Amino acid sequence: MKPWSGIIAAYRDRLPLSDDAPSITLLEGNTPLIPSVALHETLPGNLDIFFKYEGLNPTGSFKDRGMVVAFARALARKAGICLCASTGNTAASAAAYAARSGLRCIVLLPEGSIARGKLAQAAMHGARIVSIAGPFDNAMRMAQELVLERPEIELVNSVNPFRIEGQKTAAFEVSDVLGDAPDFHFLPVGNAGNITAYWKGYREYAQAGKISRLPRMVGFEAAGAAPIVEGRIISNPQTVASAIRIGNPASWKGAVCAASESGGWIGSVTDEAILDAYQFLARREGIFVEPASAAGVAGLRQEVARGRIPPGSRVVITLTGHGLKDPDISTQVAAPQPISIAPVLAELQRAVEE
């Protein structure tokens, strides 16, 4: 078997990169498609459920797929600085690939609402961190305004088409492993780049004859940050899932197209349902994700309860980011309560019995 060498090497013929774009990589992609045990058992309808666990990318989220392609493009056009607005994961990923490529990296973050692990990543990789008052949407708007005046700066948000190109490779991987597209693809929606990217990937694979059908794309916003579901910009989005705390998604149209063209839909799930799915994944499936990543699982439970998923359907759910990203939420829902003992066997035996 050929060793994995990253998504540019694996899918270069399906990416719009010029010949002079370097094949950079942190060996992103090739993430596992894990069959569900507990969700399968606890939901009715004998569903065939798989988790695309994107938390196992090099910086712990799906962003690496898009970032590596955006950086290959930035290097080809000799950009010296990259910029992004982020709820955290994009910043962590951009900072890592900037470090790898020798570019300067500036990240614009909504003040006070970035999960601690993500902030640590951006700082460790040497990004300049700029904190902006208000929600993510303010930071996104300012990033777009700045690059209009400073075109030499590479904007590496998913409004950059190369990001979408990289992220579409996850749909290729799912299809390659399953031998065809699933019936449904569930995932969280924030800035709406990822659902746009998956849909592009599935369509391209179908056009190339690699799959015989297309999945229905089903995306989930958090109920307190659900602009697409409500059909209006949310000026003060609120959710425990900080990664998707977004009131005016940049790829709004892309998400709506993915849902409507595929026969899917965009729904919303409450924070309570997100946190319940978050704990279920950790406790029952053995998979630690960050809260936003559990939105797809919360969504599947909700849509099954509403009778919208035919029995026997094959469902893929993308788990977008690793649980270690957000230690504050995890310790709130499951506070570690170690039992302190002396180094004496009798005490250990008592602790084991309790």
Q: Is 67 in the site for ligand F0G (CB under 6 A)?
A: no
Which residues within the stretch 79-98 sit at the binding site for ligand F0G (CB under 6 A)? 86-90
Residue choice 166, 182, 190, 264 for contact with ligand F0G (CB under 6 A): 190
Q: Is 296 in the site for ligand F0G (CB under 6 A)?
A: no
Binding mask 232-271 for ligand F0G (x = CB under 6 A): -----------xx---------------------------
Residue choice 31, 57, 169, 191 for contact with ligand F0G (CB under 6 A): 191
* CB 186 to ligand F0G: min, Å: 12
Cβ distance 200 to 172 under 8 Å? Answer: no
Q: Interhelix angle for 271-280 vs 295-305, to 10°? A: 110
Q: Is 121 in the site for ligand F0G (CB under 6 A)?
A: no
Q: Is 89 annotated as a binding residue?
A: yes
Strand partners, 315: 49, 184
Q: Is 192 annotated as a binding residue?
A: yes
For 167, other C-beta atoms within 10 Å of its C-beta total 28
Residue choice 192, 225, 298, 309 for contact with ligand F0G (CB under 6 A): 192
H-state helical runs in 109-220 = 116-124, 136-149, 161-167, 169-178, 193-207
Binding mask 129-168 for ligand F0G (x = CB under 6 A): -----------------------------x----------
Residue choice 69, 79, 127, 189 for contact with ligand F0G (CB under 6 A): 189
Sign of CA dihedral 241, 246, 250, 256: positive
* CB 339 to ligand F0G: min, Å: 33
Rounded Cα–Cα distance for residues 229 and 142 (Å)? 25
Rounded alpha-carbon distances, angstroms, from residue 110 to 43, 189, 295, 335: 37, 18, 21, 27
- Residue 20 or 119: the one with the smaller Cβ distance to ligand F0G is 119
Q: Interhelix angle for 116-124 vs 89-101, to 10°? A: 10
Rounded Cα–Cα distance for residues 184 and 202 (Å)? 12
Q: Is 45 annotated as a binding residue?
A: no
- Residue 190 or 352: the one with the smaller Cβ distance to ligand F0G is 190
Q: Which stretch binds ligand F0G (CB under 6 A): 44-52, 142-150, 191-199, 204-212?
A: 191-199
- Residue 9 or 69: the one with the smaller Cβ distance to ligand F0G is 69
Q: Is 58 in the site for ligand F0G (CB under 6 A)?
A: no
Q: Which stretch binds ligand F0G (CB under 6 A): 5-13, 230-238, 264-272, 290-298?
A: 290-298
Pairing of strands 153-155, 81-85: parallel
Q: Is 248 annotated as a binding residue?
A: no
Task: Identify which of 62, 130, 127, 66 has the alpha carbon closest to the alpha carbon of residue 98.
Answer: 127
Which residues within the stretch 320-339 sit at the binding site for ligand F0G (CB under 6 A)? 320-321
Rounded Cα–Cα distance for residues 354 and 350 (Å)? 6
Rounded alpha-carbon distances, angstroms, from residue 255 to 106, 206, 318: 27, 19, 15
* CB 36 to ligand F0G: min, Å: 19
Q: What share of the chain is helix, strand, coil (3-state, %, to 5)?
A: 45, 15, 35
Instruction: Name the DSSP class of 339.
Output: P
Strand order from edge to edge, sheet including 33-35: 33-35, 48-53, 314-319, 184-188, 216-222, 265-269
- Residue 61 or 248: the one with the smaller Cβ distance to ligand F0G is 61
- Residue 15 or 317: the one with the smaller Cβ distance to ligand F0G is 317
Annotated binding site for pyridoxal 5'-phosphate: 89, 190-194, 320
Annotated binding site: 89, 190-194, 320
Binding site for ligand F0G (CB under 6 A): 61, 63, 86-90, 158, 188-194, 243-244, 290, 292-293, 320-321
